């Protein structure tokens, strides 16, 4: 006979689970496959195992968010291609043609921009979706118990789907230019994971703050607009003067973008390893801090949302 333990500090309000069913028969009780045991403090002790137990809820929420994003749209999921494509065209015209900024080695400027655009959109979309996830699911959070961490993580799945679809543009550009990646492409999954960590970690912090202070619904999009130009999306980070590169690398997006370009462009893109390591450490630190802050404030979400 299995047991389901619910986090609670009292068993009196729920009553005692007797050895007979609702109709008073022992057979009805034997038909029950689970015995409910209420136990104080269980949520903190088994939080991470509960995440796995609620994996079906994660899949349902992720699929719902993907479906809702492209519902009642004319071109549907093609927006994941149109948005980075148009942004790449504008950045190439402004930074490449007008400002005459150099590319990475012999790489066409459009490919270099697109190799930075994809991880940036992954970070920004993941961060924005995660920061708004709790408020958008307020009715669910205030009525049902489940590990709240599922909600922002599920919303970040939309960013990953968009990234996969948007990659079609970069693949097409590389084929049209006859540009093939080198062996560094093997490290691309690690950089992809780093991008998710960077976006989700910061998103968890803003998600917790957004529950209590709704100003962050305005602050986050504004920060993403600034981050687009402060990060090396439309230009190479090698243009930053050497004395300031370590400071510039405190931006977690810098290491992610440089890592993506190194993986996709191979020897054409020289990676600044001290800056990459610092940027990666900042991403991991933000993720750790995001989880800690989220877990510390999670108990109050249902009360204030």
Q: What does the pLDDT read at residue 39?
A: 63
Domain range spanning residue 249?
46-304
Q: How many domains does the chain have?
A: 2
Cβ-proximal residues to 211 (8 Å cutoff; 6+ apart), any chain = 134, 135, 297, 300, 301, 304, 305
Global pTM reads 0.81
For residue 181, give the DSSP letter. Answer: -
**Same-domain pairing of 96 and 15:** no
**Same-domain pairing of 51 and 21:** no
Given a cut of 80, whether residue 11 has pLDDT beyond it is no
Given a cut of 50, whether residue 295 has pLDDT beyond it is yes
What would the two tokens of residue 212 be?
């209590």
Mean pLDDT across the stretch 162-170? 90
Q: What does the pLDDT read at residue 9?
A: 38
Q: Is 13 exposed, middle or buried (0-12, 13-18, 19+ CB in 10 A)?
A: exposed
**Same-domain pairing of 26 and 158:** no
What would the two tokens of residue 252 be?
């977690």
**Same-domain pairing of 125 and 68:** yes
**Same-domain pairing of 188 and 69:** yes
């Amino acid at each position: 006979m299995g047991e389901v333990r619910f986090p609670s500090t009292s068993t009196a309000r729920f009553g005692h689970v007797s050895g007979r069913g609702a109709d008073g028969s022992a057979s009805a009780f034997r038909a029950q496959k689970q015995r409910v045991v209420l136990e104080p403090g269980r949520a903190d002790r088994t939080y991470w195992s509960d995440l796995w137990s609620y994996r079906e809820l994660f899949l349902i929420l992720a699929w719902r968010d993907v479906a809702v994003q492209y519902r009642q749209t004319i071109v549907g999921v093609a927006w994941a291609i149109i948005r980075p494509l148009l942004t790449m065209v504008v950045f190439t015209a402004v930074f490449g043609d007008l400002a005459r900024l150099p590319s990475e080695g012999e790489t066409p400027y459009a490919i270099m921009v697109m190799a930075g655009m994809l991880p940036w959109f992954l970070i920004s979309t993941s961060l924005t979706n995660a920061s708004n996830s709790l408020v958008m699911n307020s009715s669910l959070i205030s009525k049902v118990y489940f590990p709240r961490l599922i909600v922002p993580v599920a919303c970040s799945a939309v960013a990953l789907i968009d990234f996969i679809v948007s990659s079609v543009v970069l693949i097409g550009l590389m084929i049209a230019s006859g540009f093939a990646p080198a062996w560094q492409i093997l490290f691309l999954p690690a950089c992809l994971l780093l991008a998710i960590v960077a976006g989700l970690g910061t998103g968890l912090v803003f998600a917790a703050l957004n529950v209590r202070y709704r100003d962050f619904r305005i602050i986050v999009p504004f920060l993403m607009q600034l981050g687009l130009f402060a990060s090396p999306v439309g230009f190479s980070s090698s243009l930053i003067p050497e004395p300031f590169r370590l400071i510039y690398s405190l931006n977690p997006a810098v290491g992610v973008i440089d890592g993506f370009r190194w993986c996709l462009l191979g020897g054409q893109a020289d990676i600044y390893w001290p800056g990459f390591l610092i940027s990666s450490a900042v991403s991991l630190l933000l993720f750790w801090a995001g989880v800690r802050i989220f877990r510390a404030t999670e108990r109050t979400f249902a009360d204030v949302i």
